[in-house]
């Protein structure tokens, strides 16, 4: 036990006393992710964007289609224009000053009001002018077309959709939860993996490569103590690195998805956070053990990093799996890493199952013990330790 | 004389990679490093394993230090079996070879504490031992300099001090003066004699005849993984110099095959 602590302390000293490692593993990931996501958010998502659309021959019916509902923000601002301004407005669209121009039939309200079906060639035309070189113009065009499509179908009047009743039943909480449930398990797994990648190959393959591990092996320390000490300290450092990435992600969330961190986090009961912590801990221990085993096989840090790439792809695919399907099957929760993704996804989408959680934790505990056992056996093997 | 190290019929075969196979011109894909090697070293003596490169000296020492395992045979160090009581063997030996490196990032001071704790020494024991050894080897001048910034000689001194941090009864040194400048080499050989005076048992491997003549009480000559001559210095070399005696034995062995 003392030996394990001594090893852990040494691994921590090696890491925390090295400014470059601390900067590169703990601070940079968070900062980079924050900067990257914030920039990305500014480019792809602007929730306050309002499209300016000019209409010639304005109509009350048309305007009502774009009136914001209760609690919604206005996204399309309609401005009236005169027919003779048409060419001038087109120029403005090309210049990006106006997003779109809609030229309605002169008597649009009457046509809609009469409810008479007019066959195709004679049906009145609505002109929409836009410029595909401007993304906001394309967005405005798509929005107008989809609104008109739905309205036209309903004017045909076989049936109405969501006209007098109906609507989205999801509360904002659930909507936020659903969005997060898809994305977060993948992000968490990715961060944990890159955290492990940052430290494990260096600590195992690096020590082998430099011949410092043999110095440890001639002390009376048991191989198992050495392995446990290494795995535990690497798991802690990898987790800290992942936490740094999380902080970066959460801080950039409002920019990226337009959510609010406080709202998003308060959705979940406190117990869920403990469960999440447990799952993440077991995930990081499994990943760090797997990378350590690969690193022990490797002759150098470089080789270890190469070995870890296929594993990374596998782990990422498992992380993405929750976006495609979720399963409540107990048996699926015996599969390592996959079970972590499923439980995390269940937690985030507020569908937490205690049984699945316990199965995940217990089976992962067995896997971790098994992996530590394998690594201990490898450390006892001269073919592994002296294959450099 | 009480025996302290006993190797019985140790055999060790290494599998060769395809590349090594070509170099060694081996058709079986194997290299027999130790071919039934036996020897006994006594307490309070310096025992020298003498042989050319590739004779199996380092392999033998690695087996004694439990870093690698013999394919067959058994060895005992200070009464502990190297196959069944690995931790006890490691606790009773100080093992030093050029391959055992220290992490560049740490200072001699930190590493001394770290390895002291791994050997189960108390903080007081570490402190007093550190004072004594650091002064003895002049390490106190660079105790707070990272190992990566030390010269080869300084590093070797730190390695030496750390390998005997726990004051072991048995000291095993693989090529103790290899790669050292004359001054550091002298420090090391003087220290080995001093350890012997303290009653320690020492096993060294070397291919340097003068070192054997200077230090060793008993010597074993290994050629091709086999012990071809063993005894006290005078028994092995007779009236000749160690060098002449070795080449006589070598000639006889190789031609006799």
Do strands B93-96 and B170-174 pair parallel, antiparallel, or not at all (unpaired)? parallel
pLDDT at residue A373, as a whole number:
96
Give yes or no for a contact between A128 and A100, defined as CB atoms under 8 angstroms apart.
yes
ipTM score assigned to the predicted complex: 0.87
Name every chain B residue with its beta carbon within 8 A of the beta carbon of A3. 117-118
More confident residue, A118 or A93: A93
Residue A379 has pLDDT above 60, yes or no: yes
Residue A115 has pLDDT above 70, yes or no: no
pLDDT at residue A358, as a whole number:
95
Q: What is the mean pLDDT of chain A?
A: 83
Do B117 and A212 count as a contact with CB atoms less than 8 A apart? no
Two tokens, residue A103: 């030229």
Give Cβ neighbours of residue B146 (< 8 Å, ≥ 6 apart).
B104, B105, B106, B107
Residue A167 has pLDDT above 70, yes or no: no
Query: Quick one: average pLDDT of A173-188?
Result: 70
pLDDT at residue B24, as a whole number:
67
Give yes or no for a contact between B207 and B241, defined as CB atoms under 8 angstroms apart.
no
Give Cβ neighbours of residue A103 (< 8 Å, ≥ 6 apart).
A55, A56, A57, A83, A86, A126, A127, A128, A129
Give the Cα separation of A158 and A141 in Å (integer).
27
pLDDT at residue A162, as a whole number:
56
User: Which class for A43: exposed (0-12), middle (13-18), buried (19 or more C-beta within 10 A)?
Assistant: exposed
pLDDT at residue A132, as a whole number:
83
Residue A102 has pLDDT above 90, yes or no: no
Q: pTM to 2 decimals?
A: 0.78
Query: What percentage of chain A has pLDDT greater than the value 70?
Result: 84
Question: In this predicted model, what pLDDT tens digit does every residue of A247-271 receive, in sequence order?
Answer: 887 787 766 665 555 666 677 788 8
Name every chain B residue with its beta carbon within 8 A of the beta carbon of A18. 105
pLDDT at residue A185, as a whole number:
86
Question: In this predicted model, what pLDDT tens digit does every residue of B70-117 receive, in sequence order?
Answer: 999 999 999 999 999 999 999 999 998 877 889 999 999 999 999 999
Give Cβ neighbours of residue B225 (< 8 Å, ≥ 6 apart).
B12, B32, B33, B34, B35, B36, B37, B55, B56, B59
Closest CA to A274 of A192, A359, A361, A337: A361
Give yes or no for a contact between B201 and B171, defined as CB atoms under 8 angstroms apart.
yes
Two tokens, residue A61: 């019916």
Q: Which of B117, B148, B162 to mutate to test the interface with A (most CBs of A within 10 A)?
A: B117
Distances (CA, A) of A241 to A9, A25, A190, A319, B197: 18, 6, 11, 18, 53
| Residue in A closest to B102 by C-alpha | A212
pLDDT at residue A257, as a whole number:
61
| Residue in A closest to B107 by C-alpha | A14
Residue B231 has pLDDT above 80, yes or no: yes
Q: Read out DSSP for A59-120? A: -HHHHHHTS--TTPPP-EEEEEE-GGGHHHHHHHHHHTSSSEEEE--TTHHHHHHH-----G
Q: Which of B103, B110, B173 to mutate to test the interface with A (most CBs of A within 10 A)?
A: B103
Q: Within 13 A of B183's CA, how many CA atoms are on the CB side?
A: 6
Do A214 and B87 count as a contact with CB atoms less than 8 A apart? no
Give yes or no for a contact between A29 and A194, defined as CB atoms under 8 angstroms apart.
yes
Lowest mean pLDDT among A59-63, A130-134, B89-93: A59-63
A270-297 helix and A338-348 helix, angle to the nearest 10 degrees: 160
Give the Cα separation of B107 and B140 in Å (integer).
11
pLDDT at residue A329, as a whole number:
85
Question: In this predicted model, what pLDDT tens digit does every residue of A315-372 receive, in sequence order?
Answer: 999 988 887 877 878 888 999 999 999 998 888 878 888 999 999 999 999 999 999 9
Give the Cα separation of B96 and B100 in Å (integer).
7
Question: In this predicted model, what pLDDT tens digit does every residue of A33-52 receive, in sequence order?
Answer: 888 888 877 766 555 678 88
What are the backbone angles phi and psi of residue A184, rounded to the nearest 5°? -60, -45
Residues, chain B, total? 257
Question: In this predicted model, what pLDDT tens digit does every residue of A285-326 receive, in sequence order?
Answer: 999 999 999 999 999 999 999 999 999 999 999 988 887 877
Give the Cα separation of A201 and B149 in Å (integer).
24
More confident residue, B3 or A117: B3
Calculate how close chain B gets to A236, using CA atoms only, in Å.
Answer: 20
By 3-state DSSP, what share of chain A in percent is helix, strand and coil, each rounded to 5? 70, 5, 25
Calculate how close chain B gets to A21, using CA atoms only, in Å.
Answer: 12
Q: Within 13 A of B51's CA, how many CA atoms are on the CB side?
A: 26
Query: Quick one: average pLDDT of A45-62?
Result: 76
Question: In this predicted model, what pLDDT tens digit does every residue of B175-200 receive, in sequence order?
Answer: 888 878 888 888 889 999 999 999 99
Give yes or no for a contact between A240 and A267, defined as CB atoms under 8 angstroms apart.
no
Q: What is the mean pLDDT of chain B?
A: 89
Residue B127 has pLDDT above 90, yes or no: yes
Closest CA to A204 of A288, A306, A280, A313: A288
Residue appearing with tokens 């560049």:
B104
Give yes or no for a contact between A38 and A252, defined as CB atoms under 8 angstroms apart.
yes
Give the Cα separation of A117 and A123 in Å (integer).
8
Provide the pLDDT confidence category of residue B54 given band limits of 50, 70 and 90.
Answer: confident
Do strands B80-81 and B72-77 pair parallel, antiparallel, or not at all (unpaired)? antiparallel
Name every chain B residue with its beta carbon within 8 A of the beta carbon of A14. 103, 105-106
pLDDT at residue A70, as a whole number:
62
Lowest mean pLDDT among A92-96, A135-139, A148-152, B132-136: A148-152
Q: What is the CA radius of gyration of chain B?
A: 19
Q: Read out DSSP for A333-384? A: GGSTTHHHHHHHHHHHTT---HHHHHHHHHHHHHHHHHHHHHHHHHHH-HHH
Do A217 and B67 count as a contact with CB atoms less than 8 A apart? yes
Name every chain A residue with its beta carbon within 8 A of the beta carbon of B78. none
Name every chain B residue with its beta carbon within 8 A of the beta carbon of A382. 62, 67-69
pLDDT at residue A173, as a whole number:
55
Determine how many CB atoms are found less than 10 A away from the CB of residue A36.
Answer: 14
More confident residue, A325 or B141: B141
Do B110 and A13 count as a contact with CB atoms less than 8 A apart? yes
Give yes or no for a contact between A187 and B80, defined as CB atoms under 8 angstroms apart.
no
Name every chain A residue with its beta carbon within 8 A of the beta carbon of B65. 218
């Amino acid at each position: 036990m003392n030996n394990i602590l001594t090893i852990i302390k040494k691994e921590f000293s090696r890491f925390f006393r090295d400014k470059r490692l601390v900067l590169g593993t703990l601070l940079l990931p968070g900062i980079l992710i924050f900067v990257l996501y914030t920039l990305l958010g500014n480019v792809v998502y602007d929730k306050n964007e309002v499209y300016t659309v000019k209409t010639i021959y304005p109509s009350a019916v048309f305007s009502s289609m774009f009136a914001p509902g209760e609690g919604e923000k206005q996204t399309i601002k309609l401005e009236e224009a005169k027919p003779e301004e048409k060419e001038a407005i087109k120029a403005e669209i090309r210049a990006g000053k106006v997003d779109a121009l809609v030229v309605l039939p002169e008597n649009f309200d009457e046509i809609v009001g009469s409810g008479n079906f007019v066959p195709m060639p004679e049906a009145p035309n609505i002109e929409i002018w836009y410029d595909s070189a401007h993304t906001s113009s394309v967005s405005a065009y798509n929005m107008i077309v989809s609104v008109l499509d739905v309205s036209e179908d309903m004017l045909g009047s076989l049936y109405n959709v969501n006209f007098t009743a109906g609507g989205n039943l999801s509360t904002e909480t659930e909507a936020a939860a659903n969005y997060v449930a898809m994305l977060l398990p993948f992000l968490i797994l990715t961060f944990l993996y890159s955290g492990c990648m940052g430290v494990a190959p260096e600590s195992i393959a690096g020590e082998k490569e430099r011949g410092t591990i043999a110095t440890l092996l001639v002390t009376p320390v048991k191989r198992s103590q050495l392995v446990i000490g290494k795995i535990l300290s690497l798991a802690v450092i990898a987790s800290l690195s992942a936490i740094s990435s999380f902080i970066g992600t959460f801080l950039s969330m409002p920019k990226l998805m337009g959510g609010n961190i406080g709202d998003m986090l308060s959705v979940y009961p406190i117990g869920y956070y403990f469960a999440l912590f447990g799952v993440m801990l077991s995930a990081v221990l499994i990943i760090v053990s797997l990378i350590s085993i690969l690193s022990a096989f490797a002759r150098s840090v470089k080789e270890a990093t190469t070995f870890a790439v296929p594993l990374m792809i596998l782990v990422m695919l498992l992380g993405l799996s929750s976006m495609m399907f979720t399963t409540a099957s107990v048996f699926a929760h015996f599969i390592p890493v996959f079970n972590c993704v499923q439980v995390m996804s269940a937690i985030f989408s507020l569908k937490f199952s205690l049984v699945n959680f316990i199965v995940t934790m217990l089976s992962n505990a067995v896997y971790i013990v098994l992996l530590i056992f394998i690594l201990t056996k490898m450390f006892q093997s001269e073919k592994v330790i002296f294959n450099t | 004389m009480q025996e302290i190290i006993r190797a019985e019929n140790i055999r060790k075969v290494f599998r060769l990679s395809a590349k090594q196979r070509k170099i060694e011109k081996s058709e079986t894909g194997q290299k027999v490093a130790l071919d039934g090697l036996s020897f006994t070293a006594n307490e309070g003596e310096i025992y020298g394993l003498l042989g050319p490169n590739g004779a199996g000296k380092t392999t033998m020492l690695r087996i004694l230090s439990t870093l690698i395992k013999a394919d067959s045979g058994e060895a005992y160090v200070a009464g502990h079996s190297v196959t069944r009581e690995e931790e006890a063997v490691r606790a009773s030996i100080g093992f030093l070879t050029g391959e055992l490196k220290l992490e560049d990032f740490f200072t001699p001071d930190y590493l001394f504490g770290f390895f002291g704790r791994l050997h189960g020494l108390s903080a007081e024991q570490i402190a007093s031992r550190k004072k004594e050894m650091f002064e003895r080897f002049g390490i106190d001048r660079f105790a707070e300099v990272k190992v990566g910034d030390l010269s080869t000689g300084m590093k070797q001194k730190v390695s030496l001090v750390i390998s005997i941090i726990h004051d072991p009864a048995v000291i095993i040194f693989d090529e103790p003066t290899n790669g050292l400048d004359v001054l550091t080499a002298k420090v090391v050989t003087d220290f080995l004699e001093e350890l012997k005076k303290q009653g320690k048992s020492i096993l060294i491997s070397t291919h340097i005849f003068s070192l054997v003549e200077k230090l060793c009480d008993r010597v074993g000559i290994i050629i091709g993984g086999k012990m071809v001559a063993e005894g006290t210095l005078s028994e092995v070399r007779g009236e000749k110099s160690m060098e002449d005696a070795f080449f006589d034995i070598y000639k006889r062995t190789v031609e006799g095959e």
